[in-house]
Amino acid sequence: MTIQIALIDAFADRVFSGNPAGVCLLTHHQEDAWMQAVAAELGASETAFLVPVAGGWHLRWFTPTAEVELCGHATLASAHYLWNRNQVDDEPLRFFTLSGELTARRTSDGWIELDFPATPPEPATPPGALLDGLGIDGVVAVYKSRNDYFVEVSDPALVRELRPDMDRLRSIPSARGVAVTSVGEGLFDFVLRFFAPNVGVDEDPVTGSVHCALGPYWAERLEKNDLLARQLSAREGTVRVGVRGDRVLLAGQAITVLEGALVGEAGDPVPRVAAPLA
């Protein structure tokens, strides 16, 4: 079995920035355990698995340890891969996912824009492990969406300098991850970092899906629906966010880093070596 696969930096303006995503192009559905094993082997924060279906593509996302319901950067990477490998010329691309139908289109300036569901957060009482695990002062507010906690702090420097205790964050129940955010600086309306140790990703470099909550949150706070966000991980990345009622438009750039093939079935034995290696 030979399966096309690529590693693509998403929400990136240069190689080795943004968030790397695996993209695996399949001809038919594979077993969950096989996809999970591939994602663990690649080690990217998410790997996307694409299967052609009527009207578009069936799309699933796996971290190295778990399947997730929504992933922005691996969807961006998937659209980039399909268009740049000349697999399709459809526009918009349609993806059928655990979060419903998602679309991607190319903008006039060469970015890729995703149409995702808005998931505005609600005020929440933080569990003890949340603020203890972050270990920060200057907390303005704590919110929670279906999957994540959101902590607003008073200064971008607090976001950049954060050194959380992953074991404490991992102990938080009923949470995929934790976003720490503040009003932005310079060109950026807001900044953030995102931690998801519960799904095998201590810090996600650039997280598209979390902007489905932060977009509506900052749109209300700043009284504007078109925003520019910067994720302040070591790799950093930029996301354009447009809040449109119950939808959020997420735009970014992507760059292919590696292309190749997966060879062999799960569980295939290692070939015998004819002679000892020197």
Which residues carry out catalysis?
46
Region label for 142, one of left (φ > 0), alpha (ψ between -120 and 50) or beta (otherwise) = beta
Task: Enumerate residues 6+ apart whose C-beta is below 8 A from 84.
Answer: 256
Q: Tell me how many degrees the CA angle 147-60-10 measures, rounded to the nearest 5.
A: 80
Cβ of 132: how many Cβ atoms within 10 Å?
14
- Is the distance from CB of 32 to CB of 8 less than 8 angstroms? no
Nearest CA to 62 out of 95, 16, 22 is that of 22
Cα gap 169→195, rounded to integer Å: 8
Nearest CA to 49 out of 17, 19, 71 is that of 71
- Is the distance from CB of 106 to CB of 91 less than 8 angstroms? yes
Cα gap 129→47, rounded to integer Å: 29
